[in-house]
Amino acid sequence: MGAIFTCSIDDGHPSDMRLADLLERYGLNGTFYVPIVNREGSPVMAPAALRELAGRFEIGSHTYSHQFLTRVDATRAAQEIFWGKHALEDMLGRPVSGFCYPGGRYRRVHLRMVRAAGFAYARTTVNLCLDAGPGRYEMATSCQFYPHGRDVYMRNFASGGRWLHRRRCLAAFLRSSDWRARLYKCFEIAETHNRVFHLWAHTADLDSNNSWSEMENFLSHVSGSVKTSNRLSNRELAERYFIENMKGVL
């Protein structure tokens, strides 16, 4: 058994290549969610760099322009989901099976759009979970690699549902004021109880917060604790947890 580890990185920032190098250095796996352009003005990896990354890790879609789906009408939301997938597939020359909701914002109708577009699974930004989530189009995470205050996690806990499943991590987060200590404690719980630890991050945040050394230290710690067969991409995690529902998909 043992703990399962996966990592996901959002927004396709050029610094994603640096994190890919760290994951490879420590023998870990993960998924990078990339928009084609970023309407907020942040840089996105050039096609050549993205193709190089796709040879090493799973690439998922993050809409065409990093559009928050709840801020546009149904037609535009469906276009963002569909165009993002197919433009990315054209660029990479391979199927793209994973999707991540920008900003974690979505409604039930968007889950149906994601499925209709041909995605096999989708990831949310619900934190404090030590399993894969309630379903393959609402996959959850454990925590974000970011120095959030307790209030952010309290709001995420309140809005994310499944409170009985998430209360153990929340309690650990509330006991410490140091975000790094929370990260290690949450992973310790996953390790002790043979659960899933899903880390997610934006590499632009690692740049702005100068927290690359903290990230490397944490990945080194994880590498020493998680067996190779439990180091998964998001797609592999979805297959392991929701395999009966994924037969024949893509």
Q: For the chain, report the end-to-end CA distance as a whole number of angstroms.
A: 28
Burial class of residue 228 (count of CB atoms within 10 Å of its CB; 0-12, 13-18, 19+): exposed
pLDDT by 10s per residue, the chain, length 250: 799 999 999 999 999 999 999 999 999 999 999 999 999 999 999 999 999 999 999 999 999 999 999 999 999 999 999 999 999 999 999 999 999 999 999 999 999 999 999 999 999 999 999 999 999 999 999 999 999 998 999 999 999 999 999 999 999 889 988 999 999 999 999 999 999 999 999 999 999 999 999 999 999 999 999 999 999 999 999 999 996 544 444 4
Residue 72: give its domain's CATH number.
3.20.20.370
pTM confidence score = 0.95
Taking every pair of Cα atoms in the chain, the longest distance, rounded to a whole number of angstroms, is 47
The encoded tokens of residue 69 equal 């789906």
Domain count of the fold of the chain: 1
| Containing structural domain, residue 52 | 4-246
Cα–Cα distance for residue pair 225/241, rounded to 1 Å? 21
Torsion 28-67-80-161 (CA) sign? positive
- DSSP track, 185-208: HHHHHHHHTT-EEEEEE-HHHHHH
